[in-house]
Amino acid sequence: MGKTKYYPHTENEFEYDEILPCPFCGKHARITFKGNSYTKSRTVEIKCTVCRANMLNATIRHDSEWIAKITIDSWNQRIK
């Protein structure tokens, strides 16, 4: 699995694992960052661009990088 850079809109960029294709239809998935440093509320959503399957995680205590890594790991988990 390769690495890619992610760019939360209110925080520093970071590098982490690539997002795998949708586990249901195999098409491209997109990551979205919401929230800011002022409210301390951050949300990360990964959504398939075709079938619209999604995964959403949120946090108050941690930064966007932390919640993004958890969301990416969960999205990329495949049962064999």
User: What are φ and ψ of residue 71, in 5° steps?
Assistant: -65, -45
pLDDT of residue 79: 79
pLDDT of residue 80: 66
Q: What is the pTM (predicted TM-score) of this model?
A: 0.90
pLDDT of residue 4: 94
pLDDT of residue 35: 87
pLDDT of residue 55: 96
**Residue ranges of domains in the chain:** 3-76
Taking the chain (80 residues) in runs of 10, the rounded mean pLDDT of each run is: 88 94 96 86 96 95 93 91
Residues 6+ apart with CB under 8 A from 58: 35, 41, 42, 43, 44, 67
